[in-house]
Amino acid sequence: MTLSFEQIKNVTFGALRVRRSDEGILFDKCTEKQVTAWYTLSGTLGARAETTTGVRLDFVTDSQSLSFDTADGDKFEVFINGLQRYRIHAEAYRAKGETPTFELGEGEKRVTLLFPSHSRGVLTSVALDDGATLTPYRYACKMLFIGDSITQGWNSRYDSLSYAQRVSRFFNADSVIQGIGGAYYHEGTLDKIDFDAETVVIAYGTNDFGHYPTLEEMRLRASRFLDGIAAQFGNKRVFVISPIYRADWQKPKKMGSFADACNLVKEEGVRCGFTVVDGMELVPHNSDFYADAVHPNDLGFGVYAERLIAEMQK
């Protein structure tokens, strides 16, 4: 049976909005105002704000098969009962005019279709066996992640292995992941969102280091942004992560040292009454845990998630 738009929308998580267009079904991790704000700052940032980081269909079904067609997006992952079983490059299927189909096995099971983190996952159809059951998965809590390419999961071989997605799975959280490669603190990107997160994680700073000409301007942007978070989520549990280790951390920029930027983030987080996590304590200072000078690899993201979970459990 081919799922209706309402059925697809009903089992969608990680998206603030699900909508129809001439392309197909679109899934938004950011509000329209946020996307416009990122485009105002940079066309590249705007495009990255439209990617489907962390978006997923998540449901319980007795169907023995799943198939779907796409109009855009590449890497999709399929989980059965929480275990990743398939990863495909949807571009290859579209090029051949084929529909990817997956065997799910007998009996009732949880099925998760994870969308690509670095492109727009656009669906045109989703199908299960005729007469199959379909129930949205029930999460234990809600979490919102806001950050740059590290939160988006850049250079993780599997999108599902980013720190934000690992932390979400550990806490069984319905999460929205607003990770945007190249992003930095800017109050213009704030908007009131229709997602009642109990926990909010803010992880900017490494792009701010060097982006702003002075520490004073970085502090102004960070303080205004965090004040906006406090206004919306001040009664929630908010974590501010200072920048993680980067290979060039000892090379100062015009604005000052990397340590200065890290301390600034910590100070502003404390000022707002948030829980501050020292990013320099999250990933080993070792190139084996990094894909490049800035981004952890799958191994590094695993340590990041493990140590952040420990901090959050405190």
Write the pLDDT tens digit of every residue in 214-232.
Answer: 999 999 999 999 999 999 9
Alpha carbons 301 and 155: distance in angstroms, whole number: 10
Average pLDDT over residues 61-88: 98
Query: Does residue 236 contact residue 273 with C-beta atoms inside 8 Å?
Result: no
Residue ranges per domain, the chain?
Answer: 5-136, 141-313
Confidence band (pLDDT; 50, 70, 90) for 210? confident
Percent of the chain at pLDDT > 70 equals: 100
- pLDDT score, position 133: 98
Q: Which amino acid is at 124?
A: T
pLDDT class of 69 with cuts at 50, 70, 90:
very high
What letter would DSSP give residue 167? H
Under CATH, which number does the domain 141-313 receive?
A: 3.40.50.1110
CA distances from 97 to 28, 90, 127, 255 (A): 26, 10, 16, 52
CATH number of 5-136: 2.60.120.260
pLDDT bin (cut points 50, 70, 90) of residue 154 is very high
pTM for the model: 0.97
pLDDT of residue 78 exceeding 90: yes
